[in-house]
Amino acid sequence: MTTAQRVAVAGVVTVRVARGFDSFPIPYVSSTCETGGISVRLGGAGWTLARTLQLLGTDVTFATYVGADALGELAVGGLRRCGMYGPATQVCDVQPRVMVLYDADGRRASASDLRSTPDLRYPADSFQSLVDSGPPCAAAVLTNIGFTRSLIPVAADRGIPIVTDLHLVGAVDCAYNRDWMASAHVLACSHERLPCRAEDWVRSVWQRFGTDLVLVGCGPGGAVLGVRATGRIWHIQPAVPRGVRYTSGAGDTLLGSFTHHYFALGDPVAAVRHAVLTAGWKVGGTPDDDPGVPADELRDLRTRHGLPEVVTVA
């Protein structure tokens, strides 16, 4: 029996409220009844990454904060149900929360209220104890919320590859993100605010930081992956087997699946093809769906639809 690989994830878990509309802009209506139309679930980059990895078969240690308030009790309950509540869970004053509005075409408008968590400092000694106990960590996924900055040296000093998602980033020399960018083995981001084409962004990151793997989620355009060891940049075609309905969290799903498959297979191109299929399946779901795709379902998807096509762009 093969032992599951272990990955430490550090990031935020939110209580997320989502509501769908026919289209944007949303017309003003003073009051309406939306039976079954409002979803309340856990969300956040850390949660989505951790749950995606876990469903694919990775042994996840999830370092996060939960609030000492009523919404925090919802977060605790969700973590307990998935076996991710324990010594890695810290307590903050108020639970982070997010609101997502989305339309029938899958476009979204979200607002995050993370309260005190960006200014917190997750205790490095606690994280050190977590990664030093149990099986070795194949990777540390450190999202770029402020409280994980103190954990970068813990992973780096132990030679644990660091995976980071910058989400929306507009400059390669970004003061806020510099610590994560300088340390990452895998550096991911969205294409939405890049100052250049995705492939040019990859080259800029290689030149500035020498990052081994640079992953750009391109929404309806699929993804771009740069592999510095070979100097090659790949474009992965999109795959949306059941169309597009709800896109929030797609980038975190992409990176979670990529991380699982890359450290399991050792092949970044195969990993990104699996990741695009995973994320493409998720955007066809609803906000009530659990993050990620179970490993057996992904195998079925691969059999039915195949992996997305990939071509070299440089």
Q: What is the pLDDT of residue 62?
A: 98
Neighbours of 291 (CB within 10 A): 23
Question: In this structure, what DSSP letter does residue 148 have?
Answer: G
**What's the pLDDT tens digit per position in 224-258?**
999 999 999 999 999 999 999 999 999 999 999 99
> Percentage of the chain surpassing pLDDT 90?
94
Distance between CA atoms of 227 and 289, rounded to whole angstroms? 33
Measure the CA–CA gap between 143 and 186, rounded to whole angstroms: 12
What value, to the nearest 5°, has the Cα angle with vertex 286 and ends 285 and 290?
85
What is the pLDDT at residue 2? Answer: 52
For residue 181, pLDDT beyond 50: yes
Count the neighbouring beta carbons within 10 Å of the beta carbon of residue 98.
19
Give the pLDDT of residue 34.
86
Does residue 133 surpass a pLDDT of 50?
A: yes
- pLDDT for 4: 82
Q: Are 52 and 253 in contact (CB under 8 A)?
A: yes
**65, 120 contact by CB (below 8 A):** yes
Greatest alpha-carbon span in the chain: 59
For tokens 């490095």, name the residue: 124
User: CA of 294: how far to CAs of 25, 54, 127, 291, in Å?
Assistant: 35, 8, 27, 9
Q: Is the pLDDT of residue 314 over 80?
A: no
Q: Which residues of 242-267 are buried (b: 16+ CB within 10 A; e: fewer)?
A: eebbbbbbbbbbbbbbbbbbbbbeee
Q: What is the pLDDT of residues 5-24, one digit of tens each?
A: 999 999 999 999 999 999 99
Residue 51 to residue 252: CA distance in whole angstroms? 10
Phi and psi at residue 78, to the nearest 5°: -65, -40
SS3 164: strand
Average pLDDT over residues 45-74: 98
Cα separation, 257 vs 49, in Å, equals 8
Which pLDDT does position 17 carry in this prediction?
97
Write out pLDDT tens, residues 275-290: 999 999 999 999 999 8
pLDDT of residue 1: 38
Q: What tens digit of pLDDT does each residue of 208-224 get? A: 999 999 999 999 999 99
Using the predicted structure, report yes or no on whether residue 171 has a pLDDT greater than 80: yes
User: DSSP letters of 200-251?
Assistant: HHHHHHHHHH--SEEEEE-GGG-EEEEETTTTEEEEE----TT--S--TTHH
Q: Mean of the pLDDT values across residues 122-133? A: 96
The whole-angstrom separation of Cα 47 and Cα 88 is 13
Domain 6-11+51-67+119-312 class?
alpha beta
d(CA 225, CA 165): 14
CA distance 272 to 261: 8
The per-residue pLDDT for 131 is 96
Query: What percent of the chain stands above pLDDT 70?
Result: 99
Pairing of strands 97-102, 213-217: unpaired
